[in-house]
């Protein structure tokens, strides 16, 4: 892989971004990129700590002996790994780096997510640690792991080793905004026991693909389709008109991403082929009309796979799956009463998968209110229990609550005015951030979050704006200088 980003400025930022893009870093497999951070610290003679879970803290002292300010810079090492359905089937995110490309003002990865969420934060932090010409306060650069998988790194990190009480999180995707609070979240799993029986007939693949997808916090207010639930709705429509047996069902790759694709494999009586194709074709027209202007690339189709004899789910198992997919809430549950543009509570049915002994539905819920998150969890638990499914809470993280008095926010506001000649937008954020965990763990910590323009995160259409990444880096440096 060549130096695709050579010549882009700031040179150090984009050099480090390209270097970490060569290193596989899906959630749960951050050891290699963690090794890279440790090697960087050793090579620069910087003090570092690496904990058992893989978080790395790198400390850089100020050049000024009289400096009494310590600032924590924080971002996560892992990335959401999704690829286009037509991209290289052999690409393995746990083994292969990204194929970076530049088009006009954008950096993207061919066929896959880019990992600018949160790779650009990692690049910013490394560039700052590397530049001895900068006159800055003491820096504690915290690189956390597995943010995209329940924020496991931040939850496990021992914050007692941090001296700083100003924390700048670099995990936002809209330039010009300074975040002031964020939602808490919870991932739950509904596990339905299943059994099988031998069935013969004509096999069909039922496919829903081409949806926009996106971040289940950032894009949940866009009204995009959820492939898992749309497939559940289609299968229910088929059930009302004809008999079929369900051989396989699956969809979604990450609970924090709105599912873009889902697939079912069914077996029917050969005499019902025309009827099935008519039902699917009609459903496709209806759904495409419902999502007109939102999901213009959506495809819904049935493909005849010929005669087949296979193990299919029993009627009870199929009925339980259908119930869950057609009753679980979807998308926005409640908007903020104080801010019409802020989602207060939401739910994303992110992953469904079938194994030999169970059907699993993995759900991500977010809320600015702990009580509403709890109530939504109870609702899912009741739904699961009504069909004999087990309900498990796999992770939970707190909200980052709004603090009316924030000296760090005031400094950032003034620095933004100086650089951009206008006021930044101060806003709450529905997506979950590690800020909530540090807010709960560290008494008196003062937190802000911001970042450059990144479009379509958690999808293969992810794009990082080159000019925005450069200007936000200058903004970050200005804040540090003012501190």
pLDDT of residue 62: 96
pLDDT at 150: 87
> How would DSSP label each residue in 225-260?
--HHHHHHHHHHHHHHHS--EEEEEEE-S-TTB---
Could you give the residue numbers annotated as active site?
78, 147
> Could you list the mean pLDDT of each consecutive 10-residue stretch along the chain, which spans 483 residues?
89 98 97 98 98 98 91 97 83 94 97 96 98 96 95 97 97 97 95 97 97 91 96 98 98 93 98 98 97 96 97 98 97 88 94 97 94 96 97 94 94 98 94 93 97 94 97 98 93
Cβ-contact 344, 239 below 8 angstroms: no
DSSP-derived letter for residue 45 is: T
Q: Give the chain's domains with CATH numbers.
A: 11-175+450-482 (3.40.630.10), 187-397 (3.30.70.360)
Whole-angstrom distance, CA of residue 130 vs CA of residue 46: 10
- What the block records as the tokens of 170 is 């670099």
245 vs 400: CA distance, rounded Å: 46
Burial readout 394-416 (b: 16 or more C-beta within 10 A, e: otherwise): ebbbbbbbeeeebebbebbbebb
C-beta of residue 454 within 8 angstroms of C-beta of residue 464? yes
87's tokens: 């991209």
Quote the CA–CA distance of 154 and 148 in Å, as a whole number: 11
289-312 pLDDT, tens digit per residue, is 999 999 999 999 999 999 999 999
Do 483 and 71 touch, CB atoms closer than 8 A? yes
For the CA atoms of 11, 27, 443, 161, what is the dihedral angle to 10 degrees? -70
Q: What is the DSSP letter of 296?
A: T
- Contact partners, residue 466, CB within 8 Å, separation at least 6: 8, 14, 102, 105, 106, 107
Strands 177-193 vs 390-397: parallel, antiparallel or unpaired: antiparallel
pLDDT of residue 52: 97
Spatial distance between the Cα atoms of 48 and 59, rounded to a whole number of angstroms: 6
pLDDT at 218: 85
Helix axes 407-420, 466-482, angle to 10 degrees: 130
Write out the H or E segment, with its range, that includes residue 345: strand 343-354
Do 434 and 74 form a contact (C-beta atoms < 8 A)? yes
Question: How far, in Å, are 66, 162, 312, 397, 474 from residue 407 at the CA level?
Answer: 21, 19, 61, 25, 20
DSSP states of 366-434 = EESSHHHHHHHHHHHHHHHHHTT-EEEEEEEE--B---S--HHHHHHHHHHHHHHSSPPEEEEEEEE-T
Q: What is the pLDDT of residue 432?
A: 85
Encoded tokens for 319: 């009925």
Are the C-beta atoms of 147 and 169 separated by less than 8 Å?
A: no
Task: Let me know: does 98 contact 23? Beta carbons within 8 Å.
Answer: no
Q: Contact at 8 Å (CB) between 18 and 122?
A: no
Residue 158 CB neighbours (<10 A): 12
């Amino acid at each position: 892989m060549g130096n695709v980003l050579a010549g882009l400025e700031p040179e150090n930022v984009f050099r480090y971004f390209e270097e970490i893009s060569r290193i596989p870093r899906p959630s749960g497999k951050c050891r290699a990129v963690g090794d890279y951070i440790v090697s960087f610290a050793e090579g620069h003679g910087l003090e570092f700590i690496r904990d058992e879970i893989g978080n790395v803290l790198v400390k850089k002292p100020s050049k000024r002996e009289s400096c009494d300010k310590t600032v924590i810079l924080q971002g996560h090492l892992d990335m959401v790994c999704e690829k286009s359905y037509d991209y290289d089937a052999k690409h393995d995110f746990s083994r292969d780096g990204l194929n970076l490309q530049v088009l006009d003002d954008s950096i993207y990865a061919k066929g896959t997510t880019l990992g600018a969420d949160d790779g650009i934060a990692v690049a910013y932090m490394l560039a700052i640690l590397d530049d001895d010409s900068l006159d800055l306060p003491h820096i504690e650069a915290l690189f956390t792991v597995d943010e995209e998988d329940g924020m496991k790194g931040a939850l496990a990190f021992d914050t007692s080793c941090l001296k700083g009480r100003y924390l700048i999180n670099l995990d936002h995707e809209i330039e010009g905004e300074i975040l002031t609070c964020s939602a808490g979240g919870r991932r739950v799993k509904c596990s339905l026991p299943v059994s099988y029986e031998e069935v013969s007939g004509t096999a069909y693949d039922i496919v829903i693909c081409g949806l926009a997808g996106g971040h289940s916090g950032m894009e949940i207010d866009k009204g995009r389709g959820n492939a898992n639930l749309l497939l559940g709705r289609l299968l229910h429509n088929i059930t009302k008109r004809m008999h079929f047996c369900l051989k396989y069902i699956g969809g979604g790759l990450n609970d924090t991403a709105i599912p873009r694709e889902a697939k079912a494999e069914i077996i029917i009586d050969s005499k019902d082929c025309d009827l099935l194709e008519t039902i699917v074709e009609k459903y496709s027209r209806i759904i495409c009309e419902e999502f007109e202007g939102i999901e213009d690339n959506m495809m819904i189709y049935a493909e005849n796979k010929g005669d087949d004899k296979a193990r299919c789910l029993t009627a009870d198992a199929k009925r339980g799956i259908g119930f869950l997919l057609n009753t679980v809430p979807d998308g926005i549950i409640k908007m903020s009463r104080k801010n019409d543009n802020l989602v207060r509570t939401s739910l994303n049915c992110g992953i469904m998968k079938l194994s030999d002994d169970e059907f699993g539905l993995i759900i991500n819920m977010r809320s600015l209110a702990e009580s509403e998150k709890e109530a939504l969890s109870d609702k899912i638990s009741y739904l699961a229990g009504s069909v004999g499914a087990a309900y498990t809470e796999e992770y939970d993280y707190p909200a980052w609550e709004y603090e009316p008095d924030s000296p760090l926010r005031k400094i950032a506001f003034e620095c933004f005015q100086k650089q951009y000649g206008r006021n930044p937008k101060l806003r709450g954020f529905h997506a979950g951030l590690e800020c909530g965990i540090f807010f709960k763990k560290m008494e008196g910590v003062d937190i802000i979050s911001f970042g450059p323009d990144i479009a379509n995160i958690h999808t293969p259409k992810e794009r990082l704006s080159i000019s925005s990444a450069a200007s936000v880096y200058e903004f970050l440096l200005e804040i540090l200088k003012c501190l």
